[in-house]
Structure 1
């Protein structure tokens, strides 16, 4: 099962995130094998927070030239997006309480991801729909450096929404099989 989860995430990274250039900063660390995919088999929030803590520590303690970012997959809980979204409050509090603020941040991806004030079937939601619930741990310093050298950071979300709107039904089924299976 773990290998299938890793394969699903790798395919999503390669075909969606990098393939559609949703994140212009993802290709280089992926190519350099500095993206870690970890899996938490937690079935309760406390265990999941402990697993997140271990990954925050690993990323913080590992040189950036060895590990740039971590994706923590959560296959055994938080299948419902509202539950996942509520849990993100605990994640933010955890990052703050343990002093990671300013060093690490956590981005969110989920198979049912839905931005506030959107309908569930709006194409823009696809930009954050992953095959499994994920917590993406990002080094703030790396993000700041990438943003500094990217000409139009503010335009990324709008460009990504347009990219999703332009996908045909067949392309969506190919790129997001977990949504149409």
Structure 2
């Protein structure tokens, strides 16, 4: 997963990076026992630090699958909503970002679907678009249509809180999880 691997451990009497713990991490990915952003990032860092290319390769499929499951099982949205208690994150943003990532030929640049969705949300300015739509819905205003100023004020509240949540999640990756 990292392009800065330093060859094999040939000549060393030490066993490779604790084969047992590596296998346990891979199994936790395959079984979806681990399905939170923090834990998946922890395993992703462990995989990226593999000194042996074979070990790193063993993580690729399970890690990709685990990130896919994290997004499609709605845990991603659940965690975003946990960060936006005052103005719950709009699920349509995640659905749209996921669709855009899947439609983007550049989406193969990372194994990490959550990161790709967060970047798509940010780069395509989805928060502003959805904040304006959500803020103007009559159901946000007890069934009445809001005045433009009211709608704008609520949209700004949505934008601020949702943007903070996305930025907070993106801080988990000081370096983008990309293939190149």
Shorter-chain TM-score: what band?
A: under 0.3
When the two structures are superposed, what TM-score results if normalisation uses the length of structure 1? 0.27
Structure with higher Rg: it is 2
Higher relative helix content: 2
When the two structures are superposed, what TM-score results if normalisation uses the length of structure 2? 0.27
Higher relative strand content: 1
